[in-house]
Amino acid sequence: MNSYTMFAEVYDKLINVDYIGMADRIEDIFIKYGKKPNLVLDLACGTGNLTMELSRRGYDIIGIDLSEDMLSLATEKAPDIRFLCQDMTEFELYGTVDAIVCTLDAINYITDKRRLKKMFKLVHNYLNPDGIFIFDINTEHKLKNVLSNNTFVYDEDDIFYTWENYYKNGISTQMLNFFVNTKEGYKRFFEEHIQRAYTVSEIKEMLKDAKLDLLQTFTWEQQKKIVKNTEKIVFASKKIC
C-alpha cells in the first residue's frame, strides 16, 4: 500500500468537517440568488463526502479530483455518482453545469497564479448563464499566523501524526508524518502539502478577469462579518454572460 493510498484511507478520519452544514450554506446561496441548479460540479471532491451530501439532496452531481486513490474510495461509497480523475486547473466536461463548488481550501493548493486564473476561466466556460460558483480559501492570516512555523501533534485512535508548518513569502509548506495502526502493525508514511496565501483583493481581481461576478463573501459558520482573524473565507460568484 503506497503512501497516497494510506492517506486517502485515513483522510475521512482526520478531516472533521460539518458537510451537512456546508451543504446547507451552499443551498442558502442558491435560494438567496434565486437559483435552482440541477447539475452541479464538485471540484477537488476528495473522497466525495460533500458530493454525496449534495446528491442526497436531489442534485445531479459530478465529482472531479486528481487523486485516483481518493476517487477510488469515493466510488466505493457512492457508485452511482460520476467521478472523474482530472486536474482542476485543466478539467474538461462534455457540457455545461448549473453550479460549481470547490471546498476545503483546494484553491490554496494552486500555488501558481496563472493556473488559478486558468481554472477560473474554465469555471466560466463550463457554467450555464448566471451559473453559481462557490469556493473557499484558507486566509493569509491562517497560513501566516496560525499555522505559521508551528508544529502540531495529534493522537487519534489508531493514528498518530505530527504536522510541521513553515511559512515564507506567502507559501505554507506543511509536512505530515503519520503512524497508522494496520492489521500488519504500525505503518509510517509522509505527506507534504504546499499552499499559497491569497488575499481577498487578489481573488476578486482574478474573478473579475474571468468574468465571474463576486456576489458575497461569508464563512461556513455564518460568522457575521469577515474580520482580520477569520481563518477561512467562502466566496459566492456568478457567471457574467
Task: Tell me the one-letter amino acid at 93.
Answer: L
Q: Is the pLDDT of residue 189 over 90?
A: no
Please check whether residue 85 is in contact with residue 68, taking contact to mean a CB–CB distance below 8 angstroms.
Answer: yes
Domain ranges of the chain: 3-139+198-239, 142-195
Would you state the torsion angle of the CA atoms of residues 195, 28, 222, 100, taken in this order, to the nearest 10 degrees? 0
Q: What is the mean pLDDT of residues 138-158?
A: 94
Second-level CATH architecture of 3-139+198-239? 3-Layer(aba) Sandwich (3.40)
Q: For the residues 112-139, what does the mean pLDDT come to?
A: 98
Q: How many C-beta atoms surround the C-beta of residue 32 within 10 A?
A: 11
What CATH code would you report for 142-195? Answer: 2.20.25.110
- Tally Cβ neighbours within 10 Å of residue 13: 12
- Rounded to whole angstroms, the Cα distance separating 8 from 90 reads 22
Beta strands in 18-143, from DSSP E residues, in sequence order = 39-43, 60-65, 82-85, 97-102, 127-138
- Say if residue 170 is exposed, middle or buried (CB neighbours under 10 Å; 0-12, 13-18, 19+): middle
Hey, what's the cell of 236? 459566492
CA 27 to chain centre: 17
Nearest of 108, 104, 118, 109 to residue 46 by alpha carbon: 104
Strand positions, DSSP E, the chain: 39-43, 60-65, 82-85, 97-102, 127-138, 151-156, 159-168, 171-182, 185-196, 212-218, 232-239
Residue 233 is which amino acid? Answer: I
pLDDT reading at 5 higher than 90: no
55-107 pLDDT per residue, tens: 999 999 999 999 999 999 999 999 999 999 999 999 999 999 999 999 999 99
The C-alpha cell that represents 67 in the structure block: 487523486
Q: How sure is the predictor about 3, in pLDDT bands with cuts at 50, 70 and 90? A: very low
